[in-house]
């Protein structure tokens, strides 16, 4: 049987295939991701329209609707609030680029995957859900360059249900500072205790598999 994170990855990637986006719709999807990465926030429908030289904002809004339907992005009213791997709202995972600008990632795997989507070195600052201490992971040249503390692991809580991964799963894919803290947290959170533990290298590999060809 496939491991939990592989199944989640298949779902996230599968939704883009299922959506059967037209070339223009896919261009809009990619533009949203690039702008999100560059500015730490998603573009507005008007900005998308102008930048892509479209004559009406309706086409952009229809595309955003469609992307939401396939859980490629989430939106509230006319505003995009997340697009895998990015979140407009603050999350536990901050991703800082080499020029100093930053963006929030939806989950630990998404934070690691950003390197592979953009081919840009990143520093991830996260927090252990048990002790709330800062966790730092530096991804450079496609590898874990350094991490602090040394015993960081990823825990993926098994909550496969519902349609929207961003809301049901992402909050339960986290870095923990140590196995010891993960065990303490699982005791206190019995409803989330089932799941799988991954090393940082395995988690990085998942990020690469999911996001490596997101912009290709
Ligand atoms: Zn901890």
pLDDT in tens, 190-205: 888 889 999 999 999 9
Q: Calculate how far, in angstroms, residue 107's C-alpha sits from the geometric centre of ligand 1.
A: 17
Give distance in angstroms: CA of 183 to centre of ligand 1.
Answer: 10
pLDDT at 192: 86
Window from 47-56, 77-86, 111-120, 153-162 with minimum mean pLDDT:
153-162
Check whether 161 has a pLDDT greater than 70: no
Please check whether the domain covering 93-211 is classified as CATH 3.30.450.410. yes
| Structural element, H or E, at residue 206 | helix 200-211
- Cα-Cα-Cα-Cα dihedral of 193, 196, 200, 204, to 10°? -120
Of the candidates 171, 212, 173, 162, the residue with the CA atom closest to the CA atom of residue 89 = 171
pLDDT at 7 over 70: yes
Query: What tokens appear for 186 in the block?
Result: 């699982």
The residues of the chain that CATH labels 3.30.450.410 are 93-211
Q: Please answer whether residues 117 and 105 qualify as being in contact, where contact means their C-beta atoms are separated by less than 8 angstroms.
A: no
Ligand 1: centre distance to CA 146 (Å): 18
How many angstroms does the Cα of residue 181 sit away from the middle of ligand 1?
Answer: 5
In whole numbers, what is the pLDDT of the chain averaged over residues? 93
What is the third-level CATH fold of 4-84?
Arc Repressor Mutant, subunit A (1.10.10)
Say what percent of the chain tops pLDDT 90: 81
Distance 128 CA to ligand 1 centre (A): 5
- Give the integer Cα–Cα distance in Å for 128 and 182: 9
Averaged pLDDT for residues 89-117: 97
Residue span(s) of the chain under CATH 1.10.10.10 come to 4-84
């Amino acid at each position: 049987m496939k491991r939990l994170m592989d199944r989640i990855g298949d779902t996230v990637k599968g939704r883009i295939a299922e959506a059967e986006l037209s070339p223009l719709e896919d261009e809009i999807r990619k533009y949203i991701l690039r702008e999100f990465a560059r500015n730490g926030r998603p573009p507005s429908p008007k900005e998308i329209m102008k930048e892509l030289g479209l004559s009406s904002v309706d086409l952009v809004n229809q595309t955003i609707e469609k992307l939401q339907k396939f859980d490629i992005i989430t939106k509230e009213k006319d505003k995009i609030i997340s697009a895998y791997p990015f979140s407009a709202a603050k999350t536990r995972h901050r991703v800082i680029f080499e020029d100093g600008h930053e963006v929030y990632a939806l989950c630990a795997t998404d934070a690691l995957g950003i390197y592979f989507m953009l081919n840009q070195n990143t520093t991830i600052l996260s927090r252990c859900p048990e002790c709330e201490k800062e966790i730092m992971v530096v991804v450079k040249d496609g590898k874990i360059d350094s991490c602090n503390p040394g015993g960081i692991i990823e825990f993926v809580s098994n909550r496969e249900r519902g349609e929207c991964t961003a809301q049901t799963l992402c909050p339960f894919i986290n870095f923990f500072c140590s196995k010891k803290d993960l065990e303490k947290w699982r005791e206190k959170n019995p409803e989330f205790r089932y799941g799988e533990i991954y090393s940082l290298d395995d988690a990085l590999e998942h990020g690469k598999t999911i996001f490596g060809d997101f912009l290709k």
